[in-house]
Structure 1
Amino acid sequence: MNVVNLTGNSLTIEDLINVAANGYRVCLTEEAKERVTKAREIVDNIVDNSKIVYGITTGFGKFSDVTISGEQCKTLQRNLIMSHSCGTGRSFPKEITRAIMLLRANNLSKGYSGIRLSTLETLIDMINKGVHPAIPEKGSLGASGDLAPLSHMVLPMIGEGEAEFEGVMMSGREAMEKAGISLVELVAKEGLALINGTQVMTAVGAISLYKSMNLLKLSDIAAAMTLEALRGIRTAFDPRVHQVRPHKGQIDTAQNMLNLVEGSTFVTNQGEIRTQDAYTLRCVPQVHGASKDAVNYVKEKIEIEMNSVTDNPIVFENGDVISGGNFHGQPVALSFDFLGIAVAEIANISERRLERLINYQLNDLPPFLVKNGGLNSGFMITQYAAASLVSENKVLAHPASVDSIPSSANQEDHVSMGTIAARKSFDIVNNATRVVATELMAACQAIDFRDGLMLGKGTSEAYRIIRSKVSFIKEDTVMYKELDKCEELLLNGELLKAVEGKVKIEI
């Protein structure tokens, strides 16, 4: 059985993907259980002794000065979840929902939130048994955590809301009953412990990050194939050029290009056919490399956030309970905006290479890569569709983190909008994937118009995989179906796995 053990300190992007998409189970380590239990004892002591501590024996936000008696604590926690469940829009897909639940469980396992071990184990049972709460995409400001969406995550735990179980959406209570999981009666601090954190924005952003890391490798493959199709110049990727401007992403990309076209007779040397290529070919290392450096920066920040305490207040081992601001999403909000911009640029340059492939005024290939042009339109409108996605990305790439709006009667007067930034990055990555898939399909089409030449070590494998699903377009066909097939090879990992079995691709 494949299991991810939660320590609170060691969760990786790969762990998250395995739980979110690959069905891995989740377990708490014994050390984590001990930490959770000790923190709960501190909270129980506060309640038993009627101490005034924010979030435990007080109201929330602007109501932080309202004292709550021990008898009212259960009502307070239930009211918190129900009143904060104000999300709207479509529900997140199952993979993101599972990632949200995993990240919240990992946060709680660190032992700084004061939740009961039994309540945390209920959340983990939901992951393992496939009870997936309906969590609306919209409604979070990204400070005080992801309050609204995380409240929707909790609703089924208390017998409210909706959840998906075994492929069917039903009431939260019914889903819990069918899965054989007992409902929870929340006690002091537990409602707040479950919802005050950055796990929604981090989950969405982490999945976007994982997809973008793969896409950056695929974009190098696409660029290499286009380089070959256009008989481009390999000399621009000479390591000496990049060592004198030693950005890591740039150096890695140039080497990737050389690895992919190794042995190719399609590519040329400087001065053999032309002296220089257009920027979209010659500057692949500089453009793709900058995006790689950005993505690696984001990865560092996200893996910190995945293993951080983002609760408020925080319960420390010595009994101190401190109200701070770790729920504020600014560190990752900026990162997700950066991620969106970086990936939007990958789509931008890919669409321009697509234009160079299909525009006969820019190459020596048949117009729009089709025989009997006029009767057939060939790849003409594939560029239109790609251009529309690129333009949409330009709108989406506007940073969300520069915005803020006060909430809770101006008590919470600066917020991150990090969840919006994460959602935008997710959409940008999806759009960019379609653009790169379109470039790959067009590059294969262009390659087929050239005879007597040999593809490179990596590009020949990419060509083989694509041609196993997508045939040469002899005459006009229903194009989206062919594009869908090519895109699926990117999404399911088949293309990248095959190419990386032949050559090394760095990011």
Structure 2
Amino acid sequence: MKLNHDALTLIGRSREILEEAASSGQRVYGLNTLLGSGRDTIVEDKSILSYQVQVVRYHNSGVGPYLDRAAARAVILARLVGFSRGGSGVRPDTARFYAELLNRGVHPAIPAEGSVGSSDLTQLAAVAAVALGEGEAFDADGTLVPGAKALADAGLQPLTLAAGEALSLVSANSYSVGVGTLVLLRLRHVAELADVALSLSLEAIARYDGGGNLSPFSPAIQAAKAVDGQRDSAAAVRRLLGGGWLEDVRPGVSVQDALSFRAAPQTHGAFRSLISDLGKALEVELNGRGDNPLVDVGSGLVVSGGNFQPTQLALSFEVLRLALAHVGISSERRIAKLYPPQRAIRAKHLAAATDKLGLAHEELPGLLWYSAAGLLAELKFLAAPATLGAPTLSADVEDHSTLAPLALQQLEKSLEAAEKLLAIEALTASYLLLEAGAAQPLGKGTGAVVGRLADVLADRPSAPDLVERARSGLREVVQQLIESEGGEGW
């Protein structure tokens, strides 16, 4: 990780403007004033440098589980990107130091909880504390060690902050932006997985219930309504089923399937569109300057503002949980429709096993349908608003917050539940397709997925292990399918 010349020049000019403002006697929030309700209280010149350490220590008060290495690195990187935009007023050497935290693998112990979404103060203060040689970090073995030791092991000397830098280090939404970007990647995978599970269910329902009508996925239907996500979802299903028997016109096919099948492009498409909106919101944050006070290089001024309030981002986290609940509703209903034929198959095999071998037939655990119902209930619960709950803080000066981190953490939980639910759907449909044999050819994409899940089912693992192994296998095969289409989805 290395900052280029243009970024360092911009950071340097930003620092010069901040220092000029300080030397002119201008009151600058957090530079020579206290914070929050103390915004109009001056910090004496002789105390400004010691005040920097106080700011970091004061805000290093997060609680909860620590972020894993990938998330911690995402937080540091997001703040470093913020420095490079020239709005923070940090010194170039401070920005370089943060780059070295990444380059040398320093993993600060960052508590996940404590931010109300008006800058992720506590998470960033945990990083700043380690930079100062305080706080805690994880060593290469994952052991919690003092921050000073982590720096020494990485060959770094603790950072000494200059005037105004403490607030610049902690006043940003780097947790919401950095970890939100990692979540964006997971969301894209789940969007692809939803179409995979749907495609498998279409083939399964066609074999056992005369369904599997592909007309709702036709280009004609998609052209009738200009929704990019919907069109992309339908196209993905057509590609997954391409080369299989569902492409042929079947005289006995149902005129219309249930809405969980027929309107799936609309549900999955809305989800895809909202994922795209989240990507745009993250892009705005990464390309913007959320610092307060903002050093505006263009005008040479240092001004107070509210760009640290990531409302657009927080609302994107909110609405995606609602969308995931709708995806989950459709998936659970499709699973329910697949289970009756599975019960019939189970009865047939049990009878055959009893008559011929005296052995019970090993099958897909029957109560996975119940697990799916429980996961759906969790998704519905998690869809409730998270961003409306913050109280007023700091003597009613900080009287509105976004709670973006809480909305993000709830979204992570929703993703976990949705991926398990979709894995159960894929397992259920694949099991039925394997039981039906190869009388009719599967689609090229769905055939690859069934082949991968057949290996998982053949080992007959316990239900928890079955779902986890299915999730892992699905990640692999979905990625392979995407790569086979040039990395742009199938």
Corresponding residue of 1:264: 244
Corresponding residue of 2:479: 497
Corresponding residue of 1:326: 307
For the 8 Å contact 1:163–1:170, the answer to whether it is kept is: yes
Q: Which has the higher helix share?
A: 2
- Which of 327, 330, 345 aligns to 1:366? It is 345
For the 8 Å contact 1:228–1:267, the answer to whether it is kept is: no
Corresponding residue of 2:209: none
- Residues 270 and 140 of structure 1: CA distance in aligned 2, closer, same or farther (over 3 Å): farther
For the 8 Å contact 1:401–1:418, the answer to whether it is kept is: yes
- Which of 65, 69, 86 aligns to 2:61? It is 86
- Residues 272 and 297 of structure 1: CA distance in aligned 2, closer, same or farther (over 3 Å): same
Q: Counterparts of 1:369 and 1:213 in 2: how far apart (Å)?
A: 40
Corresponding residue of 1:458: 445
- Which of 329, 350, 357 aligns to 1:348? It is 329
- Residues 325 and 477 of structure 1: CA distance in aligned 2, closer, same or farther (over 3 Å): closer
The amino acid of 2:270's aligned partner reads A
Note if 1:154 corresponds to 2:128.
yes
The amino acid of 2:480's aligned partner reads A
Corresponding residue of 2:418: 432
> 1:472, CA displacement in angstroms?
4.0
- Residues 268 and 379 of structure 1: CA distance in aligned 2, closer, same or farther (over 3 Å): farther
For the 8 Å contact 1:370–1:377, the answer to whether it is kept is: no
Q: How does 1:255-404 map to 2 (within 5 A)?
A: 255-265=235-245, 269=249, 271-317=251-297, 318-360=299-341, 366-367=345-346, 371=350, 378-404=364-390
Count, aligned residues: 474
For the 8 Å contact 1:333–1:416, the answer to whether it is kept is: yes
SS at match of 2:2: strand
- Residues 56 and 271 of structure 1: CA distance in aligned 2, closer, same or farther (over 3 Å): same
For the 8 Å contact 1:47–1:70, the answer to whether it is kept is: no
For the 8 Å contact 1:160–1:171, the answer to whether it is kept is: yes
The amino acid of 2:393's aligned partner reads S
The amino acid of 1:90's aligned partner reads P
> 1:506, CA displacement in angstroms?
4.7
Corresponding residue of 1:484: 468
Which shows bigger deviation, 305-314 or 259-268? 259-268
Corresponding residue of 1:170: 145
For the 8 Å contact 2:214–2:246, the answer to whether it is kept is: no
Q: Deviations over 1:427-464 (max 9, x none)?
A: 11121111111211222111012131110121112222
- Which of 84, 90, 102 aligns to 1:109? It is 84
> 1:364, CA displacement in angstroms?
8.6
> 1:477, CA displacement in angstroms?
4.9
Which shows bigger deviation, 56-65 or 163-172? 163-172
> 1:163, CA displacement in angstroms?
0.7
> 1:246, CA displacement in angstroms?
2.3
Give percent identity, aligned residues only.
28
For the 8 Å contact 1:234–1:270, the answer to whether it is kept is: no
Q: Counterparts of 1:272 and 1:127 in 2: how far apart (Å)?
A: 61
Q: Counterparts of 2:382 and 2:178 in 1: how far apart (Å)?
A: 19
> 1:502, CA displacement in angstroms?
4.7
Corresponding residue of 1:11: none
Consecutive unaligned residues in structure 1, runs of 5 or more: 1-25
Corresponding residue of 1:423: 409
Q: Counterparts of 1:423 and 1:154 in 2: how far apart (Å)?
A: 22
Q: Counterparts of 1:186 and 1:503 in 2: how far apart (Å)?
A: 50
The amino acid of 1:130's aligned partner reads G
Q: How does 1:123-142 map to 2 (within 5 A)?
A: 123-142=98-117
For the 8 Å contact 1:142–1:329, the answer to whether it is kept is: yes
- Residues 390 and 364 of structure 1: CA distance in aligned 2, closer, same or farther (over 3 Å): closer
SS at match of 1:89: strand
Q: Deviations over 1:313-351 (max 9, x none)?
A: 011224310000011121111111012222232233222
Corresponding residue of 1:17: none
Note if 1:410 corresponds to 2:396.
yes
Q: Counterparts of 1:295 and 1:184 in 2: how far apart (Å)?
A: 38
For the 8 Å contact 2:364–2:431, the answer to whether it is kept is: no
Which shows bigger deviation, 425-434 or 44-53? 44-53
Which shows bigger deviation, 477-486 or 299-308? 477-486
CA RMSD after TM alignment: 2.2
Which shows bigger deviation, 496-505 or 255-264? 496-505
> 1:496, CA displacement in angstroms?
1.2
The amino acid of 2:44's aligned partner reads S
- Residues 269 and 368 of structure 1: CA distance in aligned 2, closer, same or farther (over 3 Å): farther
Q: Counterparts of 1:378 and 1:138 in 2: how far apart (Å)?
A: 39
- Which of 185, 198, 203 aligns to 1:228? It is 203
For the 8 Å contact 1:309–1:326, the answer to whether it is kept is: yes
Q: Counterparts of 2:289 and 2:129 in 1: how far apart (Å)?
A: 22
Q: How does 1:209-220 map to 2 (within 5 A)?
A: 209-220=184-195
Q: Deviations over 1:143-182 (max 9, x none)?
A: 1x11112111211111111111213321111101111111
- Residues 74 and 102 of structure 1: CA distance in aligned 2, closer, same or farther (over 3 Å): same
